[in-house]
Structure 1
Amino acid sequence: MIGRREFVVGAAAVGLMIEQRISHAAASQPATRINFEIPAGACDCHTHIHGDPAKFPWFAKRTYTPEMALPEEMSALHKALNIQRVVIVTPSVYGPDNSATIYGMAARGKDARGVAVIDDKTTDAELDRLASLGFKGIRLNLSTAGINDPKVATESFVRAADRVKTRNWHIQLNTTLPVIAAMKDTLAASPVTLVFDHYGNANEELGVAQPGFSDLVSLVKSGKAYVKISVTAGPRQNYAYFTPLAQMLIDRILWGTNWPHPNSVGGSASTVSPLWQVDDGLVFNLLPTWAPDAAVRKKILVDNPARLYEF
């Protein structure tokens, strides 16, 4: 039988664990100090919140289950990176439920914007509500859903564009270069601004000549699209491969961490996939290599996000 003293000590230990869980992130935090000047109003354009599942239940049809990643942890990340603003994107693990994203946005107030996930059941009244809360676009997460058929992808895109074209919202696409290449004519005629996730999911080691990358560049140079230079998956041994990709896209880049670095590879709904432990300070310090001109970095970190997300 547990005595009173053992109970008190045990309860204190549990309380300490909870306190540490909030003040010392399980999700990654920067280990490297930032070594260049960050302009005021800089924005991390690609993050997610994974709330307490008791309050924010996971989507039943999710393909993986992540660890929690809370607003307090995100704020600690951005304090270390000298980042003021944030765009929170609803991850696939919530389906069309944007509640956890709203929770994260509320914690950051006027410095936060959101990108929602919707489905055919999402009403216009709900879109109005999301707009009032600071959402500025919707995401089509085709890659995580395993949608690689250009016909299916095009149909999804056309339906989405029809829903938001009168709202001055954008559509953010998480898809592959082959799908982008196959859809290029539809995308070029898009009635809304486009944002491509994660370098268009280019394979950085294949460089700028890989199939489909020139189509992505053409969409960017036409003024139709932005590209998020947010790095997926875990830590890299060599980030230099990203340099030529970033420099080809430089005028219409949005920078993002992809925090808390969810690991969806080989995941399942029944087991928790540990978050990747990425040193976002190390990755952020690569930006001056990708964009040596401080004025260009201000455009990437401040001006482009301010225009697209209406800060």
Structure 2
Amino acid sequence: MTKTLKTSAPPLDEPRSPAMQLPPGSCDAHVHIFGPFDRYPLPDDRSFTPALAPESALRRWHERFGFERCVIVQSQGHGYDHQPLLDALRSGAGRYKGVALVRPTDSDATLARYDEAGVCGARFHFLAHLGGRPDLNAIREVAARIKPLGWHLAIHVAGDDIAEHADFIRTLDVPVVIDHMARPDISSGPDGVALTALRRLMDTGRVWVKLSGADRLSKTGAPFHDALPIARSLAAHAPERVMWGSDWPHVNLHGPMPDDGDLVDLISSIVPDEGDRRLLLVDNPAQFFGF
């Protein structure tokens, strides 16, 4: 029987311009790209079908908003075909870094090719719709492989899974970043199980958090103000270990497509202090990703 794949909606063609002005050197620390599909066909074993969102479209909206850098994260939409990512990194001429999907069986030559292009991390999903929980031993193997390259691990979990896997994350001997604030249930509030575990991981000094995905956490919709207590609690707890990402082009959403202007304007509410905003958008990603 042929598997029916969910098809993601495209991002908004014309997001509104945000009221907030970004500081020079700002980095969008979490985006994906897809296509052009005539050049980069989608693999048959993908877990969903993305909408067209090529690097050229990403670059246009970043230039309009004022982002000078970004981190392109390989997605299950293109699976283990990293050619779209590698080509984008080379065309970015230093303004992009990449995060790959890495398997223990990938050769040293493959990792060296990724590293030369600008990849600086490996990502693992713990979500059912993206393949389910990976083998923890496989993550350990990959961590050992990427450590000499100076890469980090990106962990994508949801709900209280961050608490379940906190002890394992502490054993990883490479820097770790948690995507999308660990996607907690915001009804549990900043002092719930997930956020408490996440802050304790940040206290190790080796775990960073992306303050991305407010639209995924929100229960009330745009402008996503109900997600503010979660994001603020993390930003205030360790301002030197948080980064911001748009999550463009917002794949696998169940509700309306968010306006990136709303998401950018939310930054000033998450981090009201101008100095801390520079940490969030400029200094922290420059240090963590090696810009």
After superposition, what is the alpha-carbon deviation per residue over 1:170-215, rounded to whole angstroms, capped at 9, x for unaligned?
0001112432212212211220011111110112333213322211
Distance 2:210 2:67 in 1: 16
Give the counterpart letter for 1:98 in structure 2: H
Q: How many residues align?
A: 274
1:263 to 2:252 alignment: yes
Q: State, as a whole percentage, how many aligned pairs show the same letter.
A: 27
Question: Which contiguous aligned blocks of 4+ residues in structure 1 show a shift greater than 4 angstroms?
Answer: 232-235
Larger Rg: 1
- Give 1:1-311 correspondences, 5 Å limit: 27-29=11-13, 31-143=15-127, 144-148=129-133, 152-231=134-213, 233=216, 236-237=221-222, 239-250=224-235, 251=239, 252-263=241-252, 277-311=257-291
After superposition, what is the alpha-carbon deviation per residue over 1:200-254, rounded to whole angstroms, capped at 9, x for unaligned?
0112333213322211111112212111111154982451222221122111211
Does the residue aligned with 1:110 lie in a helix, a strand or coil?
coil
RMSD: 2.1
After superposition, what is the alpha-carbon deviation per residue over 1:94-135, rounded to whole angstroms, capped at 9, x for unaligned?
222211112222332211110011223311111111111111
**Post-superposition shift, 1:158?**
1.6
Give the counterpart letter for 1:179 in structure 2: D
**Post-superposition shift, 1:83?**
0.7
The answer to whether the 8 Å contact 2:186/2:217 transfers is: no
Structure 1 stretch 107-116 or stretch 55-64: which is displaced more?
55-64
**Post-superposition shift, 1:50?**
0.2
**Post-superposition shift, 1:30?**
5.2
The answer to whether the 8 Å contact 1:234/1:276 transfers is: no
Distance 1:95 1:276 in 2: 25
**Post-superposition shift, 1:137?**
0.4
Does the residue aligned with 2:148 lie in a helix, a strand or coil?
coil
Does the residue aligned with 2:77 lie in a helix, a strand or coil?
helix
**Post-superposition shift, 1:276?**
5.8
The answer to whether the 8 Å contact 2:156/2:178 transfers is: yes
Give the counterpart letter for 2:176 in structure 1: L
Give the counterpart letter for 1:175 in structure 2: V
After superposition, what is the alpha-carbon deviation per residue over 1:59-85, rounded to whole angstroms, capped at 9, x for unaligned?
322221011101121112112211110
Structure 2 gaps of 5+ residues are 1-9
The answer to whether the 8 Å contact 2:183/2:217 transfers is: no
Structure 1 gaps of 5+ residues are 1-25, 266-274
Give the counterpart letter for 1:242 in structure 2: A
Does the residue aligned with 1:171 lie in a helix, a strand or coil?
strand
